[in-house]
Amino acid sequence: MSDTTLRSATISVLVENESGVLARVIGLFSGRGYNIDNLTVAPVERDGSKSRITLVTSGTTMVIEQIKAQLDRLVPVYKVLDLSEGPHLARELALIKVIGTGEKRAEALRLADAFRARVIDATTESFTFELTGVTDKLDAFLDLMRPLGLAEVSRTGVAAIARGVKTIS
Amino acid sequence: MDGTIAPIELVNSGAEAVLRALKAQGVDVIFGYPGGAVLPIYDALFQQNEIRHILVRHEQAAVHAAEGYARSTGKVGVVLVTSGPGATNAVTGLVDALMDSIPLVCLCGQVPTHLIGNDAFQEADTTGITRPATKHNYLVKKSEDLVRIVHEAFLVARTGRPGPVLVDLPKDILITPAPYCEPASTPHRSYHPRTEPDPRRIEEAVAMLKCAERPIIYAGGGVINAGPEAARLLAEFTRLTGFPITNTLMGLGAFPASDPLFVGMLGMHGTYEANLAMHGCDVMLNIGARFDDRVTGRLNAFSPGSKKIHADIDPSNMNKTVTVDVAIVGDALATLKALITAWKKDATPSNRPALARWWEQINVWRAKDSLRYTQPREPGSVIKPQYAIEQLYKATCGRETYITTEVGQHQMWAAQYFKFEKPNHWMTSGGLGTMGYGLPAAMGVQVAHPNALVIDIAGEASILMNIQEMGTLAQYRLPAKIFILNNQYMGMVRQWQELLHGSRYSSSYSEALPDFVKLAESFHAIGLRAEKVEDLDRVIAEMIAVDKPVIADIWVDQKENVFPMIPSGAAHNEMLLGPGNRDGSGPTVTNEGMALV
């Protein structure tokens, strides 16, 4: 009867920047059994009064509509925007530490160049790269680094925004 | 900021500021229990006379009492509890109010701000614990925020889909002077529930209803929450259309049960005609109900051939479990107003001949008399629980009567056999199904309506869950009546064990029951008992006549089950009927159904 195919959705939520607001959002997902694939949060107003949460989630269309409605009824939520309903941009940043010497080290640097990753720290045995892009690009780069001495990764999660003049507020 | 500078007045203490805010919100009674962290509020209460405090015997009961108060008056119920165990004891009541959309404000003491997080005495992470138990909650960290937050708590509790709101009050905030301000006249920053329905959706709904051949109206607690005027409009709209109407457990009283258009309650223990009409309808109008699993039965077999219109104030209820064709987000009162106007404006005649044929069919189902039972009348016969409710109804129907219940078989019999004509007179724990709800809820109703007849229809197991509140009834001379259908079993558990678990009655027998007559007497109340059918009417009459709290212990048939019943995992057209009303075997329960509750 209902559509059972899963889809991914990128949802931006503008919230009052108060203590507990992230717990409310996360509690909603754990309490109702929804998935969180990716989550970022940071203040976005100059006075620090509002924060923007970007969530990447997956589910059936019915579940994703539920998620949006449930988020929207939280008292400190200003706006819920499903970016995946239209053209949008999504970026993630990763800091990637690769440890190694010799040819592997040289190969890591060449690939970093091809991916436009920046070297932000280096020793004779290591590089730390900064890479920005869509999640797939970061995943692809990390796959390449794995045999070359990938030692540690720190990722920010996805920040996303609609294309064109459309805004969340 | 709106540009005007409101004069800021400093009040002597946060506690006094809280009480002033409560008075500004129209609060005249609060239900609570003191403790270390809320002593400043109790001290402030002691020094004033406008707000009455009802001292309960357990914090859970304070919340249920406030629910009873709120549901019978339409006002926000107010609870006051201390930190730690006071707060955790209140949690069941808060979830109960959340599930049934009851407006409450729970003020809760907390350890002083500098001790928060230190595992201080009677400290609990109350906002953390109650976040999923409330519509919203607050921890007041600064005196400047105190009064604004209390006012905001009332706004959030009573508007939109109502619900419980908790305000956690650290003790230092309560003793420090705090600025006072009146409730905000400007809209809330981020919270704007939609109440006015979209006119286009109303038109679509009316167009659909006008063409309906087999329509049904299915109304729930949202109509009650929207106030008595909404119930009046529901009756007006239903009579205008001539459509059959059914109510959910939460919606009983939203439409007069004596009206011939009423086909009874629907769902797991609904009438044969209500469930078959839901199953066979071609257009369904749901107003203020949420397609709860007790109502729908097996989802993929729920009303398979119908177009569905769903009017609800909460957008998250739309397409949550049942996909609908028209979703109307709005308050039930505004929606009914709009529906009536649009129905009258739309010149299309409704399909009267088809409707007449539909009523013929419904009357065939009705003739089945699915609530039929047999009460032997010879002296010495055991009382049937259904008969006890019917006799109670007959004895009270001329009076202003409020009914609360506990949870289980007695609750379903009350819903089936007591006829509700008006909204706000039926208080039951529908969503959470909290045993122990009825006595404290009756207390709250009696506080709000001191001269009314308030009866808690109870079971002998449920009543023991908050029996300590007999002390509260005695202290405040609240003449609430407790009408126990005593079958010496947790009857609904026993019924499921009989039907689904091979009659293995595991831990469902009420062993070592108290003598309820003596128990009543020890709490300064009147104890009565009906053991046989000839005792019943006398006991009911005496219970009603006496101006004191009463426990009436009605001994009923231990083996009686609640019918009709849609077993778990079955559809509306797969009802199990009572003995003597069955043609062949009932539906069998699948493995999937066994996993359902």
Burial class (CB in 10 A: 0-12, 13-18, 19+), A143: exposed
CB atoms within 10 A of CB A106: 12
pLDDT of residue B581: 77
Q: Do B316 and A19 touch (CB under 8 A)?
A: no
Question: With a CB-CB cutoff of 8 Å, which residues 123-162 of chain B face chain A?
Answer: 127-128, 131-132, 135-136, 139, 141, 156, 160-161
Partner-chain residue, chosen from A31, A69, A75, that has the shortest CB–CB distance to B132: A31
Selected catalytic residue, list B122, B375, B475, B558 = B122
Question: For residue B552, what are the contacts with CB-CB under 8 A and spacing of at least 6?
Answer: B481, B482, B483, B484, B528, B529, B530, B539, B540, B543
Q: Tens-of-pLDDT digits for all 597 residues of chain B?
A: 444 556 679 999 999 999 999 999 999 999 999 999 999 999 999 999 999 999 999 999 999 999 999 999 999 999 999 999 999 999 999 999 999 999 999 999 999 999 999 999 999 999 999 999 999 999 999 999 999 999 999 999 999 999 999 999 999 999 999 999 999 888 999 999 999 999 999 999 999 999 999 999 999 999 999 999 999 999 999 999 999 999 999 999 999 999 999 999 999 999 999 999 999 999 999 999 999 999 999 999 999 999 999 999 999 999 999 999 999 999 999 999 999 999 999 999 999 999 999 999 999 999 999 999 999 999 999 999 999 999 999 999 999 999 999 999 999 999 999 999 999 999 999 999 999 999 999 999 999 999 999 999 999 999 999 999 999 999 999 999 999 999 999 999 999 999 999 999 999 999 999 999 999 999 999 999 999 999 999 999 999 999 999 999 999 999 999 999 999 889 999 999 988 777 656 667 777 777 887
Is B171 considered catalytic here? yes
Q: With contacts defined as CB-CB under 8 Å, which chain A residues touch B139? A: 19-20
Strands of the B526-530 sheet, one edge to the other: B426-427, B401-405, B453-459, B481-486, B550-555, B526-530
> B9, B23, B50, B121: which one is catalytic?
B121
What distance in Å separates the CA atoms of residue B202 and residue B336, rounded to the nearest whole number?
A: 9
- Is B156 within 8 Å of A75 when comparing Cβ atoms? yes
Separation in Å, CA of B191 to nearest CA in chain A: 5
B33 CB contacts (<8 Å, ≥6 apart)?
Answer: B55, B56, B57, B58, B59, B62, B80, B81, B82, B86
- On whether any CB of chain A is under 8 Å from the CB of B321, the answer is no
Is there a contact between A20 and B139 if contact means CB atoms under 8 Å apart? yes
Cα-only R_g, chain A: 19
Assess whether B122 carries a catalytic annotation: yes
Cα–Cα nearest to A104, from A152, A150, A148:
A148
- At which residue do the structure tokens 């049904």 appear? B216
CA B506 to CA B464: how far, in whole Å? 19
> Which residues of B are less than 8 Å from A27 in CB distance?
131-132
Query: Which backbone phi and psi does B31 adopt, to 5 degrees?
Result: -110, 125
Q: Which residue of B has its CA nearest to A63?
A: B320
> Which residues lie closer than 8 Å to B367 by C-beta, 6 or more apart?
none
**Residues of A whose CB is below 8 A from B308:** none
Q: How far is A63 from chain B (nearest CA, A)?
A: 8
Question: What ipTM was estimated for this complex?
Answer: 0.93
DSSP state of A118: E
CA pair distance A168, A51, nearest whole angstrom:
12
How many beta-carbon pairs below 8 A join chains A and B? 47
Residue B416 in tokens: 């089936």
Which of B:155-184 have CB within 8 Å of A? 156, 160-161
Where is average pLDDT lowest: A1-10, A96-105, B198-207?
Answer: A1-10
Q: A36-66 pLDDT, tens per residue?
A: 999 999 999 999 899 999 999 999 999 999 9
CA–CA min distance A59, chain B (Å): 13
Mapped to the 3 state alphabet, what secondary structure does B400-425 carry?
Answer: CEEEEECCCHHHHHHHHHCCCCCCCC
Nearest by CB to A69, from B127, B136, B316: name it. Answer: B316
Please choose, from the candidates B250, B265, B262, the residue with its C-alpha nearest in 3D space to the C-alpha of residue B424: B250
Q: What is the pLDDT of residue B1?
A: 42
pTM for the whole structure: 0.96
Q: Closest Cα of chain A to B90: distance in Å? A: 20
The pLDDT of residue B5 is 56
B470: three-class secondary structure by DSSP: helix
Nearest to A66 among B131, B161, B320 (CB): B320
Query: Which of B116, B319, B329 has the most A C-beta neighbours within 10 Å, making it the best mutation to test the interface with A?
Result: B319
